[in-house]
Structure 1
Amino acid sequence: MDATPRPRRRLARSLVAATALVLVVTGCSSSGGSGTSNEATKSAQPRLDAQDINPQPLDKVKDGGEFRLPLQQWITQWNPLQVDGTYGDSVEIMKMIEPELFRVDATGTFQPVKEFLQSASVVSSSPQVVLYKLNPKAKWSDGKPLGYLDFKAVWQAANGKNTAYNVSSTGGYDQIGDISQGADATEVKVTFDKPFADWQSLFYPLLPAAGISTPDDFNKGWVEKVPITGSAFKIGSQDKSAQTITVVPDPSWWGPKPKLDKFTFRVLSSSAITQAFLNNEVDYASAGRADAYSQLKANPNAVIRSASPWDEVHISFGSNGALADQKVRQALGKAIDRPSLIKVVNQGVPVQFAELGNHLLMTNQAGYQDNSGEWGKFDLAGAKQLLTAAGWQDAGAGQPRTKDGKPLELHFIISDASSQQTVDLATATQGMLLQAGVKIDVDKVPANDLDEKYINVGKFDLATWRNTGSFPPSLVIPFYQQPVGDNVFQNYSKLSTPEIDSLLKQAASTLDPAQAAKLYNQADAKIWELGHTVELYQRPQVTAFRKGLANYGASGLADTDYTAVGWEK
């Protein structure tokens, strides 16, 4: 994980604003800062298939040692299929300790992990049938072998038919018609009612039937504990007082022995991570902000690595109060000057930040097109017209508009552990929106409450986080699909339409990539029009790692083989 966590393909979200420098934008003043005023020479955004991990053969990597990683917040819900378990760091740790059937390479291609899968392939197209051949050595920490009942339990929990399972996504699982045993206990046969192009993204990671077979086990059985593991590592300790978690090799592991003795995760605020690296307390830190980059690049024990993961920075709108009106949300979008924000946050960072005009696809991803249209273009006059049409009357410069005697006052929620740069982003947005007659209060809330008490339950008017690792595109669907009852999946704004829902589901069922991209882009245009989220930019990974760290770094689309991570001899 990065100081900005890098979960992949499954329930990927990181509540970390990726901002840089004190902002100089419309309606905002600069407070400056030493070492951050000089513009860094920009390189182009790294190719999507690029990675920078210091690859080393295992005989060049030491046996033993510790890798110390920052953790953005304490992990409460460990189940990555549960709606509260989508926090990036926890998802990445779960892929260390639970079966990862496939590992994605730098090109975004799923490759079977031989310790779990001997093979997996589509053996029929009408209906679509996938046959998994499991490694007979693969087993859970309770001694049971991996089998079809585990696949079936995941499917039955995540297909949406039993709403007592509070799942974060039904995508793909709701298109499966049956799961059964194949020719023997090592074969799993998955039959789809509707085609699903991204079938390799399912069961990622696989969870044990013994831990999720009832709604109570699924929703509560993984709170602050991991009852069953099934991979090369296990949880060593969780010290809530010290805010540290360790992950250690599992002696029951049947594959190659991990190089490291221990991974230690320590909760640190975003603003503290850079100094922790400089103090030799952690072994990597984000260098994606100007202040951090200027300090870290000068450190003799640091090496800067960069890549282009699936990583977007945005501002999301809630759906309560005044924001229940689509015209108000659209007005907010028009009043935010995206290019000005991006220009400033990119100061002092050596990789170009690409403006993002798509919620579902990255700028260097096949099928990408800018669908922002009028809804992503800065248009202050248009914003004012929309607010007037929505009944919010102009009260004069610097004053909030009013309706029925009430001021148009909204709340931008951020963590009290946010870096100054995150505060600056919210403050810049505050200044922009005031020009349209919208008063924004920037509210700092406890870091460990941000997910559970605010974002996950939609208790915000504006909020910023990063959706990361959402590749292939079907994994973005939960961010925008229609809530079902109390289950919002990962659509924390609780905003969608039947048309958006239908387009996204059609795209996920379309096996022709070009036609699927067309449907995704049609859905994206509707998401912009809905006033759901203002996309800002695609964030490259620019990170400082301690010298000598091998087989780990800026991995782009690729997954990490944690058994190979270690320190050079």
Structure 2
Amino acid sequence: MRRTPTAALAAATAAAALLVSGCGSSDDDKPQAQQSAAPAGSQQINAHPLDDIQQGGTVKFPISQYIADFNRYTANGNQGDAAEINELVEPDLFSADARGEVHPNTNFLLSASVTSTSPQVVVYKLNPKAKWSDGKSLSWRDFNALWKANNGTNKEYEAANTSGYDQISKVEQGADAHQVKVTYSSPYADWERLFDPLLPAVAIDTPAKFNKGWTEKIPVTGAAFKISSYDKTAQTITAVPNPDWWGTKPKLDSIVFRALDYTAWTDAYLNKEIDYASAILPEDYKRLENAADTDIRTGARWDEVHITLNGASGPLKDVRVRQALQHAIDRKSIATAFGKDLPVELEPYGSHFFMPNQAGYQDNSGTYGTYDLDAAGKLLDEAGWKLKGDTREKDGKQLTLAYTLSSGSTTAQEDQAELVQAQLAAVGIKVTLKKVPANDYFSKYVTIGNFDLTSFRWVDQVFRSEAYPIYRQTSGKNLYENYGSVGSPEIDTLLKQAAETTDPTEQAKLYNEADTKIWALGHSIPLYQRPQVLAVRSDLANYGAGGLADDDFTKVGWLKK
């Protein structure tokens, strides 16, 4: 549906797609040939006014797994499918438009503004009509409880990300019961990222409630939809309209989320068991593009496919070896190979913070992002890895790296790994492909830095400060989200300055300056912006490929016959 409130959502497989919105394609505007990447503000959601949409009906959506924890602010609940459902039924204070710019959602928040800069003070004016499912009004107490759970001072709270919250000094009632006053100890530019979605104090005001109270169920809701059933046997979760909803009445009677292995999505869509499926993989796209009563809707979400390099130990501890990999990996050929049968042309890009369709984007890769085998060979020579026959050696040891991937990887991910293997062999680097159990991939390999090379995705990082844990210096065994442990004091300083800079132009300059240093350090290699390519029922309105925008499920529904 939208961005996540944590530093970013890591997606391990090409299947891990969030439910997103976009604006309309019909059979007449289905892409027949490759288009360049979607420009800023573009989306395909089959947009229609509410008068065109029938009252009633059910939409069936696939999710990649049954939800174990619905609290998206915890480490366990920080998973895309859980976040989608959480956002559907909890107060969404700010909504992003197609350009990724956020605005108050007046169903919950009449206004929010910075009323003082020294110290920074933000005043929220809540909609007096907004209530939780237990009948209580939204209030400053909910903000206060969420702040205390996420600010890092009480280690018993298993918060996924404390950034931003740890810069708040006080949360209190404003001028009346429907105002909230938040005071910061230091300026925080991305303050709109915080408290969104809002959770009820009654369900998070102790570590036990925060950590365990959202296991396989949502205790209190407060939005246009509520959960009517959790069926673990059928692997379904059903949402229905909230009868006490104070806003525009939803068009749908129900939304059913069904847990399915990604490999089953295409068949389930063709069998009319679900109403949308990802068509991002060429084999799926070929089966879905001509399906009856189907649109292929494309968009450009914040979705980075990259290769992470582990600089903590082994050959990649040497920055020259990491830089050599940046030159030896042909990003253009990888992007072309992945997108060859898709309707969207994929191109490599040069930023760790901005998508090409975002304001502030610039290519900071410089010489480090160029495919240059001679430069790669020279760097490896300088690092002492001399070419002997087809391989490189140093002190009698062969230069060998392991590329770790999940056993649940798609054919496209396996193809990418094999391409990287062949490309690095061209400069004398031997790469072994190491498949690990899908359920262990993140917990036993990626998040503890147990790899040489690996590839996954960062998604929905619309607020740049969300990336801080990815690029900050690690501290002992705490890797934050910098799983390759590549960082520097200079990068930390720039990212902290950027997070405190409220002028968008100056902030972008700082992020781009940090990005230049990140490229020079060989932290990771952005490959391409993964497009949204979705097969959607052609009569489903106001849903599809939303680009940088959030969904509004009060507007989603079936067109009148």
TM-score normalised to structure 2 length:
0.89
The alpha-carbon deviation at position 194 of structure 1 amounts to 2.2
Residue 206 of structure 1 aligns to which amino acid in structure 2?
Answer: L
Alignment root-mean-square deviation, CA: 2.7
1:96 aligns with 2:88: yes
The CA deviation at 1:242 is 4.5
Q: Counterpart of 2:544 in structure 1: which amino acid?
A: G
Question: Which of these residues, 193, 198, 215, is aligned with residue 190 of structure 2?
Answer: 198
Deviation at residue 522 of structure 1 after TM alignment: 0.8
Kindly state the Cα deviation for residue 96 of structure 1 after the two structures are TM-superposed: 0.7
Task: Determine helix, strand or coil for the equivalent of 2:9.
Answer: coil
- Check whether the contact 1:98–1:229 (CA below 8 A) recurs between aligned residues: yes
Structure 2: distance between partners of 1:67 and 1:279: 14
Letter in 1 for 2:169: G
2:387 is the counterpart of 1:374: no
- Whether 1:167 aligns to 2:159 is yes
> Partners in 1 of 2:276 and 2:153 — Cα distance?
42
Shift of 1:517: 1.0
User: How big is each residue's C-alpha offset from its partner over 1:279-317, in whole Å with a ceiling of 9 and x where there is no partner?
Assistant: 222211223333332322211221111222222211112
Match of 1:334 in 2: 327
Alpha-carbon distance in structure 1 between the residues aligned to 2:302 and 2:146: 25
Q: Match for 1:62 among 13, 31, 54?
A: 54
Which of 232, 246, 251 aligns to 2:238? It is 246
Is 1:111 aligned with 2:111?
A: no
How far did 1:74 drift?
4.1
Q: 1:252–1:496: structure 2 CA closer, same or farther, 3 Å change rule?
A: farther
Q: Which residue type is aligned with residue 338 of structure 1?
A: R
Q: CA contact under 8 A between 2:312 and 2:486: conserved in structure 1?
A: no
- 1:114-173, Cα deviation, whole Å (9 max, x unpaired): 221122122223322111111223233344332212212222232334444443333322
Give the equivalent residue in structure 2 for 1:346.
Answer: 339
SS state of the match for residue 355, structure 1?
coil
397, 401, 422: which one pairs with 1:410? Answer: 401
Matched, 1:466 2:457: yes
Q: Are 2:360 and 1:364 equivalent residues in the alignment?
A: no
Q: 43-52 or 520-529, which moves further after superposition?
A: 43-52
Question: Aligned in 2, Cα 1:381/1:217: closer, same or farther, shift over 3 Å?
Answer: farther
Asked if structure 2 preserves the Cα contact closer than 8 Å seen for 1:61 and 1:550, the reply is yes
Q: Look up the match of 1:15.
A: 11
* Alignment gaps of 5+ in structure 2: 16-30
Q: 1:275 to 1:166 in 2, by over 3 A?
A: same
Match of 1:454 in 2: 445
Per the normalisation by structure 1, the TM-score is 0.87
| 1:7/1:88 contact within 8 Å kept | no
Deviation of the 1:375 alpha carbon: 2.2
Look up the SS of the partner of 1:257 in the other structure. coil
1:502 and 1:364 map into 2 onto residues whose CA distance is: 27
Aligned match of 1:548:
539
CA distance in 2, matches of 1:222, 1:392: 52
For 2:308, the equivalent position in structure 1 comes to: 316
Structure 1 480/352 Cα, relative in aligned 2: closer, same or farther at 3 Å?
same
- Give the residue type in structure 1 aligned to 2:452: D
- Please list every run of at least 4 consecutive aligned residues from structure 1 whose deviation after the TM superposition is greater than 6 angstroms: none
Give yes or no for the alignment of 1:439 onto 2:435: no
1:347 Cα deviation (Å)? 1.0
Q: Counterparts of 2:547 and 2:348 in 1: how far apart (Å)?
A: 18
Structure 1 residues 243 and 327: CA distance shift in structure 2, 3 A? farther
Instruction: Give the direction of change, closer, same or farther, for the CA distance of 1:252–1:453 in structure 2 (3 Å limit).
Output: farther
Q: Distance in 2 between matches of 1:348 and 1:359?
A: 26
CA separation in 2, counterparts of 1:281 and 1:189?
47
1:10–1:204 CA contact under 8 A, matched in 2: no
Contact 1:166 1:487 in 2 (8 A): no
Q: Mean Cα displacement is larger for which, 269-278 or 425-434?
A: 269-278
Q: Distance in 2 between matches of 1:268 and 1:396?
A: 48
Equivalent AA in structure 2 for residue 248 of structure 1? V
CA drift of 1:566 comes to 1.5
Change (3 A) 1:93 1:359: same
Q: 2:24 — aligned with what?
A: none
CA distance in 2, matches of 1:11, 1:240: 30
